[in-house]
Structure formats: structure tokens, C-alpha cells
Chains A and B, each alone.
Chain A
Amino acid sequence: MDFSFTKKEEQFRQELRTWLEENLPEGWLAGNRELPEDEEEYSAFLRNWQKTLHEGGWAAIAWPKKYGGRDATLMEEIIYQQEMVRVKAPPLVNYVGIHMVAPTLMQIGTEEQKEEYINKILIGEEVWCQGYSEPNAGSDLAAIQTSAVKEGDKWIINGQKVWTSFGHLADRCFLLTRTSHKEKKHQGITVFLLDMKQPGVETLPIVQMDGKKEFNEVYLNDAVAYDADIVGEVDEGWKVTMALLMHERTGIGAQVFTLEQQFEDLVKLTKELHVNDQPLIKDPFVRQKMVDFYTRFRGSLLNYYRHLTKTLKDGHPGAEGSMDKLMVSELTKELFDYAVSVQGHQGVLWKKDALVDSYWQDNFLQSFGMTIGGGTSEILRNTIAERILGLPKDLGR
């Protein structure tokens, strides 16, 4: 057992730090981190940031060198996450492409698909979205109804997707469709790499509870795809679906580094806010609650490290990613709830009127999506109980 970073790893950290100092957008480190309100500008800004990352060799460090990555070790990935979070770097617009679609294609895609898509994902030329959920298929993902029917050399796709994050900005979609009706609903599913910029695809943004419009309805009316767009085999898409989902959950688990930063921010807040001329952190109730948060975020961080160690030994991630996701998302929700609570009656003030910084109120609202997207907490508990502890499966599945 050893938790220290090697000299080489510390050098890597330094290299990245220096690069960030020189390449982050103007004024970013000084605290000017406003993103453009206008959708076009917003998208351009983020694509530009990804391009900068790519040019520095920092867009997808975990990828193999032959695809333009760095073959980073898991430790380097950890350091990368920590440093990005430390400077509150702009979000990765093509998160789905880099962390979910490309790794899945490297695993399962054809040579042509790798050739066609991976580099465009890397340089930010094509942004991706994930077309899984439908109005009648959320947790019960295998119940999807969007159909793909072969006509000549084309597949004609009809149906509706929902909650599609960044669908309005995306060029391509990792799309789940039903290609035949078999006895078990997990069978007969096919994954397509769909071109979003075609007449048969319409995206309508949905306003979220935090006022943002990041997810969408996607209507598919005779949208077209080809054999070459299929990942894996026709009717055998469930395995592909799951492969991508694994990457998604592992990725959300890495939110623990964000949580670490958020916790540190909360410590600062409780030192800055005063009640009766005394910093809040001196109040016994507050400091004890803060120790609880400290312990739990340390616990989830250490769990994450332990699961990484296991991944390294086994050569692939296991169901433990569900534990990381569950813990981090639930804890984030509690943390921001508390952060708003310690601001007293003025804690409800929002945006420009926020007592300290709307960061707290925004994240409080946003955190409610974390325990739903990527698998709800209930579904994750099922996974932990069934896959890790071997309890009997829910009926109906």
C-alpha cells in the first residue's frame, strides 16, 4: 500500500500546470470565468478550448498514442483531473465524444469507424451526444422503441429521444434503436452512429430546473443511416450499449475530484461567513458537520483510488464504478444543500443577487440532475446489490 506520487508523476503535474497557466483563456486564472450567454458563441468558445487542449496534447491523455493520446497512466489521469479541477477549467464540450464514444469505438468499432471518427472527436471538429433515453425508456433502457428499418442500402430511423445532453450542439449521435422484436427486449437492439445534421433529425431544447437548456428532445423522422454506421452487429447492440455506459459511470466517478474542490470551497465559505462576529467554522455544529463532509469526501476519493487499483490489476473496470457514481452524486447534492443552508435566509438569493456567489445556488440546483443522469441512484443500488453482492435480480428484468 502506498499513496504517494512518484517524482515522475509530480513532474507530469508541473508540466500540465505550466501549460494551463500559459493557455487558459484570458483572465481565467484571475477569476474571470464567465462563459458566453449566446448559444453560438458559447459553442464556439468551448470548441475553441478543446482545440487548444488538443494542440497542447491535453485533450485525451488516456487514449493510446496512435490515436493522438498520451497513453497516460491512471495516475497521470488522476493528476490531470485534479489539475483541471484546481483551475476550474472550462467544460469539455465534447465530453461524450472523448470519454464515451471514442473509447467504445476503440474497443468495438470497425477500422473504418476508427479512421472516420476518432480524430475528429479529438480535434473538436465533431461533437457527439448520447441517444439512449426515450419517453418510455429511462431506467428501463432496453424498452426503447425508436425503430430502424432497412430499405435498400439505407436504414430508415423513426422515433423520439429525450434528455439528450448537448444534442443541440452535436454533429453526431451514439444512437440506440430497435431493429427487431424478439422475446427478450435486450435483444434486437442496434447502435448507430447517426449524423445529426440531416433533415430527418430535429432537436428541441428542454429548459432544465436550473434555467439552462442543456438537454433536448430529439425527433427522428425518416432519418437515414447506413450499414457502415452500425457499431457491433445488427440486433446485438446491448453489449455495445453497456460498454459505453461503463465508460460513462467511471467518468462520473471522477467527479470526485470536482467534489474535492467544492469541499475546499465550502471550507473557505464557512471561514468567511460570520455569525455573531465569529466565523461559522468555529460553531460546533458547523465544524462537526464539516468533519462529516470531510470524512465522506475523503472516503469517496479513497474508494475511487481503491477501485482504480483494482481496475489496474484486473485490466478492466468493474461494477465498482456504480459505487463511485452513487456516492459522489449523493454527496454532492448534500454538500450544496448545506452550502446554501449556511448562508441563512439570504441563501436563496440567486444570480446577480447571490449573497456570496451564484456558484453555490447554481450547483445546488444542478446537483439534482447528478443522481438521475447516467443511471438513477436506485438503479445503481440495484447494480451494487445484484452485481457485487449477488442478490437476486428484480423481477421483470
Chain B
Amino acid sequence: MDFALSEEQEMFRGYVRKYLDGAGQTKIAREFAKGNTDGFQAIWTGLADLGCTGITIPEANGGLGLGALDLVPVLEEMGQVLLPGSYLETVAFAVPLLEKYGTEAQKEKYLTEIAAGSRSMTLAWLEPQKGYNPEEISCSARVEGDSLVVDGVKVLVPGGEQADSYVVLVRTDEGLSLVIMDRTNDIEVNAQRCIDETLGLSELTFRQVHILQSQILGPVNQGWSVLQEGLLSLNAALTSVIVGGMEKVIDMSVEYVKIREQFGQPIGRFQALKHRIADMKMELETTRSLSHYANWALESGEADCEAAIYSARTFATEAYINVASHNIQNHGGIGFTEEIDCHLFLKRARFYESYLGSSQHYKEQAALALAW
């Protein structure tokens, strides 16, 4: 048993951190929120040059041919800077599904371009006023010759405006299917305001959009179970992003309470703060342990992989909100300002908690996975 990331993995983390430090850390997200997305596009290219977009993509497609565990430190770094857009959905949802279910042509096109940094992808699942149940999907894809005609609206699509392709859950003749839709002028993309302005959520409207049937990803009418598989890797990866965010939040609190003085002493000496920060640290380390195990269990196909991922996901999302909230309180008045990053982390945490299913939903999933 060896419960640590390897030296190579830590080295990779080092490169990514150095690069993101150079790019100004959360400055990327802040600029993005203001609508200056050029910088973000440049960052994406830079990250691709480092190999970040092709970590798990086979060498034949220009990737590094590594495993899901090698993504972990990189995702943690993305979480530290609140990277906007759909890096998570690209590398931890689209890529694993393409690898497992993609046709040769799909792999050739999409994996190669993702590895090269010229294509990002995202997930378009949810619909306006609807929940997470399969029955609630009304966006449809009707067969017409060798085409599919897609109609409907998708919401809460992360990085929707920047993504080059969407993996869309649609209703087909006898069930649900996943289709890959490339960004074209036929698709109407509108920004959605979100309390986390660093994400770039979008609403997509499809009005009789024609795509080839060969754009179906995985078996037709089996989209729901393919989606669940994708969600497993997406959620495992999400916990890594959260670990990064939590780590940054705790660093912020620790640094601040060491330098801020009141009553003639650093406020970090007051146990109300000291003990709270110790608890935050415990939550972080526990999230990290759960997250590392979840990712390992996924990569090595352990029997408890589902329970591990679902439970890690709920714990992580709840813990993230907790520490991000405490971080604001630990900073006092300045914590409530726009100027300090505290709120950015809280907003991202708030987004993740209900992203792709509530805490309750994932607890129920974990209970089922444990055969309760």
C-alpha cells in the first residue's frame, strides 16, 4: 500500500502550478468574469502545451497516455485558481467516454484535437425547470435519413460559450442517447447569470439542428447508462478540483490570521479562530483522502468504486461550502468585499454542491451502492 502521489505526478503538479502562478492565479477567473475571455483562451493553449489536455489520451492521438490518477494533481491545481470553462468536463467526462465508446472516427477527430488544445467539450444535460430524472428530458433527436434533427433547450452548461463541442443528452426513438454536437451557428448560445461568474454558464437552444447519426456517442437509446458512467469519472475528478479549492481557502485563512492583529496580537492566537481553522484543515485532509481513494478505485476498477465516488463527492461538496464560508468569517469585513478572493471560492463551492445532482441525491446513490 502506498497512499501518496508519485514523484512524477508531483513534478507535473509543479509545472502546472508554476504556469498558473505566472498567469496570475485567480486573475484568469476574474478577467473571465468581466467578459475578457481572450486571456482564458491563451491559458487553455498554454495548458495544452504542457500536456494538461491530453493526460489520459492515448499517445496515438497525441496525448500522454497516462491514467486517471495522473489527472489528480492537475485538477487540484485548476481548483486552486478557479479555472473557468470546461476543463473538468473535457478531460473527465468527454475523454473517458470517447475512449470507451467513441467510434474510430470520433476518436481520431475529438481526442486528437482535445490533446492538441484545439477543442474543448462540455456537458449539456439539464433543461429549464426540470430535474435530474431521465423522464424529464424532452430535448429530442429525430431520425431523418442519415441525420438526426435536434430540438430543445439545455441549461446550466459550464463553459458553454467557449466550448467547441457539446455532449448532449437527447431523447431518441426508444430512449435517451448522448450525441456530440459541434458548435455551429445553428446552435443559439446565451449566457446565463450565475452567482459564480467565473464559470460561464450557458443556455443552448437547438431549433431543428441537423447532425449526422454518426455523432451518437455510445449505444443508441442507452444514453442514460452511458451518462452515469461518465458521471462517475466526472464526480471523481470534481473532488480533486474541490481539494485544490479547499487547500487555497485554508492557505488564505492561515496567512491572514498570522498577520492581522487585534487586541495587540495576531488574531490566529484566538482559539475561536485557531480551532475553526484546525477543523477546516481536518475537512480538507479528509476530502483529500476520500478523493485520492475515489480516483484510485475508479482507475483500478475496485468493487467499492461507486460508493467511494458518490460518498466522496457529497462530502467534498459540503466541506467546500463549509470551509469557504468560514474563510469569509475569518477575514472579518474585508472577507465580505469583492476585492478579496474569499467570495469567489464560496460561489464556486455553492455551484458544485448542486452540480449534476444534490447532496441528498448522491447520498442516496451511495446508499444504493452499499446495497442498503
Contact = CB atoms under 8 A, between A and B. Distances in A.
Nearest to B293: A302
Given A1-B4, A298-B293, A384 B278 contact: yes
Given A1-B69, A385-B277, A385-B278, A391 B1 contact: no
Interface of A: 1-5, 75, 78, 267, 271, 281-282, 284, 287-288, 290-292, 294-296, 298-300, 302-303, 305-306, 308-310, 313, 323, 326-327, 378, 380-382, 384-386, 388-395
The A contact surface, by secondary structure, is: helix
B3 A302 contact: yes
B258 interface: yes
A395 to B, nearest CB: 7
Contact of A385 (B6, B69, B274, B314): B274
Nearest to B280: A389
Contact of B367 (A291, A326, A385, A390): A291
Given A378-B271, A384-B281, A391 B366 contact: no
Given A1-B5, A2-B1, A303-B286, A298 B311 contact: yes
Contacts of B311: 291, 294-295, 298
25 contacts: A1-B3, A3-B1, A3-B293, A5-B1, A282-B372, A288-B364, A290-B367, A290-B372, A291-B370, A296-B315, A299-B286, A299-B315, A303-B285, A309-B1, A323-B281, A327-B286, A380-B278, A381-B279, A385-B268, A385-B278, A389-B281, A391-B254, A391-B258, A391-B269, A394-B269
Interface of B: 1-6, 69, 250, 254, 257-258, 265-266, 268-269, 271, 274-275, 277-279, 281-282, 285-290, 292-293, 296-297, 300, 302, 307-308, 311-312, 314-315, 360, 363-364, 366-367, 370, 372
A323 B370 CA distance: 27
A393 B269 contact: yes
A236 B201 CA distance: 63
Contacts of A393: 269
A287 B281 contact: no
Contacts of A299: 286-287, 289-290, 315
A142 B295 CA distance: 45
Contacts, number: 146
Contact of B372 (A281, A326, A385): A281
Contacts of A395: 265, 269
Closest 10 CB pairs of A and B: A302-B289, A299-B286, A381-B278, A295-B311, A384-B278, A391-B268, A287-B367, A381-B275, A309-B3, A385-B274
A309 B285 CA distance: 14
B265 A392 contact: yes
Contacts of B286: 296, 299-300, 302-303, 327
A309 B367 contact: no
Contact of A288 (B4, B281, B367): B367
A380 B275 CA distance: 9
Given A290-B372, A298-B290, 15 more contacts: A1-B4, A1-B296, A5-B1, A287-B364, A288-B363, A294-B370, A295-B314, A298-B308, A302-B3, A303-B286, A305-B1, A309-B2, A327-B286, A381-B271, A382-B271
A6 B60 CA distance: 33
B281 A388 contact: yes
Contacts of B257: 391
A54 B314 CA distance: 45
A224 to B, nearest CB: 42
A384 B282 contact: yes
A392 B282 contact: no
B364 A284 contact: yes
A392 B256 CA distance: 12
